[in-house]
Amino acid sequence: MPKNVSWDAKGNWEAKGVWGTQDSKGRGFHLDRWQARLDQLRITHHVPGASLAVLVGGDVHELASGVLHRGTGVEATTDSVFQLGSIAKIYTATLIMQLVESGELDLDAPVVNVLPEFAAADPEATRTITTRQLLSHTSGLTCDFTHDTGRGDDCLARYVEASQGVALDCPPGTAVSYSSVGYNVLGRIIEVLTGQTWDTALQDRLCTPLGLEATMTLPEEVLKFRAAMGHLGEPGQDPEPAAAWDLMPRSAGPYGRVIATAADVARLARLHLDGGTALDGTRLLAAESVAAMQRRETDVPDKWTVSADGWGLGWTLYDWFGAPGFGHDGASIGQYGYLRVVPEAGVAVVLLTNGGGARQLYATLFRELLQDLAGVRMPDSFAPEAEPPAVTIAPFVGAYKREGVVIPVPEHEGTPPLVYEFVDGMKALPPPLEMDLVPVSEKVFAGPGTGAFSEDWMPVVFDTLTNGTQCVYIGMRAAPKAA
């Protein structure tokens, strides 16, 4: 930590007359101050390595801390690349909006109009699902269908074919349910309309004009960069390197397989802050398209798993006590990324990590950064009250099911338990998870958190689809009541 920085017991910093002052809208970025804070929080939360990029005042500031691999000790640097996980969906959504602008794609026309081979498990859903629903996670298509269709350029075409029999989470338009399958269908639409693979379209239509020289999709492209290794372990302890660097097949690209530096992610965010123009003035999106992506398409019952208040066309939308924001989270094997943008302040913050208590690091660091640079107060972490309300689980007793997962909620005296069990094609995954639930409100309960994509507590949210069917949200996925 620099000698001219100190932190009090509450985590507030004091500078000894070196940098001057900064107002709440971020007219300065004190690199040494935030480097010290990143180092401190990374160690506290057992995160092996992290890269931070902050866009403020039109400039991108880059910081890094820790190591890329605890086994080798290779240092994390600002030019290190990390797996972005689901932040990749923003790249896919941006490409889709370019095609909408060009008149090649209608957001509200059925997907089968442009992709005749598309088929959901339900024939009526096949006829009605639209591109808008795919972008906003309201199509009903499920999330956790990872299917390896090989390394060939036909991998997405084969994935879409293989997904035809996969059950929907819910009927189209009845609820928001986070869907990676939907984003792979979007990726295939991009291929059909551009005549390019999704990977090539991404490079030609976004990366090259934006100057994103450290953004890629294929593992062999990563070899010339310093790459982060994911780490796994018990919460509150230093994690160990994962058994594999990447478990995602090439077919996961549109929903989860972009690798980049934090600064390159910030540069993509700047495109959306600057109304669709690149730094050199090249227009990649119309201002109207940029605004449409940030416009609320649906509310979100689970407002805590990814901090969402709603969803736009690709973007997760936030309401920070009246201040609007947008962004996205992402996860792969032992790597976790967070992007938050405050449009009114022209601020974007990107944090990429490789394991440990990444969520806790993000939560503390982003609260401080957004307050300091944009005058934004983020909500407190999700947790039950010290004295929870007297709420019964009785109205929600039953079995809930979505593709690959069953969630029985048995009747129980006292604290209600919940079981999360993988079945069918996902049966080889970890054993059933049983957790005691603590009431937060009449429909919201808290279970033990994982430390990676949740903090100390994980939300379990009961809701009702627009067709009257009860459902439960865990991890932003809707599982309807089956019995």
Q: Where in the sequence numbering do the catalytic residues fall?
A: 86
- Cβ-count burial 280-308 (b if 16+ within 10 Å, e if not): eeeebbbeebbebbbebbbebbbbbbbbb
CB 393 within 8 A of CB 416: yes
The number of helix segments (H) and strand segments (E) in the chain equals: 13, 24
CA–CA separation, 2 vs 5, rounded Å?
A: 6
- For the chain, report the end-to-end CA distance as a whole number of angstroms: 57
Q: For 278-395, where are the E strands, in sequence order? A: 298-299, 310-311, 316-320, 323-332, 335-342, 347-353
Tokens of 322: 């009246």
Distances in Å between the Cα of 3 and the Cα atoms of 11, 18, 31 are 16, 11, 14
CA–CA separation, 147 vs 416, rounded Å?
A: 35
* DSSP character at residue 392: -
CA–CA separation, 116 vs 103, rounded Å?
A: 18
Instruction: Please report how many Cα atoms fall inside a 13 Å half-sphere around the Cα of residue 196, on the Cβ side.
Output: 11
CA–CA separation, 93 vs 100, rounded Å?
A: 11
Label residue 148 exposed, middle or buried (CB < 10 Å: 0-12, 13-18, 19+).
Answer: middle
Distances in Å between the Cα of 174 and the Cα atoms of 302, 431, 438 are 15, 31, 28
CA–CA separation, 13 vs 186, rounded Å?
A: 45
CB 206 within 8 A of CB 212: yes
Using only the alpha carbons of the chain, give its radius of gyration.
22
Q: 362, 342, 363: which is closest to 353 by C-alpha?
A: 362
Q: Which residues contact 420 (CB under 8 A, 6 or more apart)?
A: 405, 407, 432, 433, 434, 435, 474
